[in-house]
Amino acid sequence: MIIVTGATGQLGRQIVERLLTRVSANQIGVSVRDPQKAQELADQGVRVRQGSFTDSDGLAHAFEGATQVLIVSVDKMGEQAVRQHRTAIDGAVAAG
Ligand SMILES: NC(=O)c1ccc[n+]([C@@H]2O[C@H](COP(=O)([O-])OP(=O)(O)OC[C@H]3O[C@@H](n4cnc5c(N)ncnc54)[C@H](OP(=O)(O)O)[C@@H]3O)[C@@H](O)[C@H]2O)c1
């Protein structure tokens, strides 16, 4: 399963829309901070799970079963961004 983060943002949403033209919805999962904002994707058969780069346990659940993870960078800079991206990358590695 291909997991995409930031799927309720501008870039992530477009990535998922393009992916849906290439692979079936059940091969796609999204990790989003607010699953309600991804209801439209859930209705199309995409797996929607709550995940934030500030919560490694939640991220482990959101990344479960991933064969690939596409991490969309957050809209922050500096130490906060480094910490969050490190958590996201560690989560992807842990998911295998
Ligand atoms: N748009 C551009 O023209 C442009 C140009 C150059 C670079 N970039 C960079 O490319 C990246 C994506 O751009 P974008 O336009 O798609 O930005 P965006 O719409 O703000 O999307 C950022 C995504 O990151 C998610 N996010 C923020 N904090 C998070 C966290 N702690 N854990 C997990 N996800 C988190 C947001 O979730 P929510 O949906 O819940 O808010 C959102 O979906 C950003 O880093 C941006 O700075 C953008």
Query: What average pLDDT does the segment 9-19 reach?
Result: 98
In which domain, by residue range, is 26 found? Answer: 2-94
Residues with CB under 6 A from ligand 1: 5-6, 8-12, 33-34, 52-54, 72-75, 84
Q: What is the pLDDT of residue 32?
A: 98
Question: Which residues, other chains included, contact 30 with Cβ-Cβ below 8 Å and sequence gap of 6+?
Answer: 3, 4, 5, 7, 8, 12, 16, 38, 41, 46, 47, 48, 49
Can you tell me which residue has the tokens 């079936």? Answer: 24
Question: Which residues, other chains included, contact 25 with Cβ-Cβ below 8 Å and sequence gap of 6+?
Answer: 44, 45, 46
Domains identified in the chain, total number = 1
From ligand 1's centre to the CA of 44, what distance in Å? 23
Pocket test residue of 74, 82, 90 for ligand 1, highest count of atoms within 8 A of CB: 74
Q: What is the pLDDT of residue 53?
A: 98
What percent of the chain clears pLDDT 90, i.e. is strictly above it? 100
56 pLDDT band (50/70/90 cuts)?
very high
CATH number, position 44: 3.40.50.720
Specify burial of residue 30 (Cβ count, 10 A radius: 0-12, 13-18, 19+).
Answer: buried
